[in-house]
């Protein structure tokens, strides 16, 4: 997910997307542990998505102060 897409989401959508990303990361960890993960770059991509989401949430939190 690109940063422009993330900035266009509402706060509720951001939290839902963060939950989904955490769930996806957990799935990827299980698949990696059971040797079913073929594309290991997915882990990195998902981690970066989580970081983007958390960054935007924090930016909005600081602006609201």
Task: Give pLDDT tens digits for 11-25.
Answer: 999 999 999 999 999
Q: Residue 64: pLDDT above 90? A: no
Query: What CATH topology corresponds to 3-63?
Result: Helix Hairpins (1.10.287)
Task: Give pLDDT tens digits for 37-61.
Answer: 999 999 999 999 999 999 999 999 9
pLDDT at 34 (0 to 100): 96
pLDDT at 47 (0 to 100): 97
Cα 22 to Cα 55: distance, rounded to the nearest angstrom = 15
Between the alpha carbon of residue 60 and those of residues 7, 10, 19, 30, 39, the distances in Å are: 10, 10, 18, 33, 33
């Amino acid at each position: 997910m690109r940063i422009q897409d993330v900035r266009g989401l509402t706060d509720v959508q951001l939290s839902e997307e963060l939950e989904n990303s955490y769930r996806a990361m957990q799935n990827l960890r299980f698949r990696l542990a059971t040797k079913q993960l073929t594309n290991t770059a997915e882990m990195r991509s998902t981690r970066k998505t989580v970081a983007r989401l958390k960054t935007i949430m924090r930016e909005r939190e600081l602006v609201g102060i």
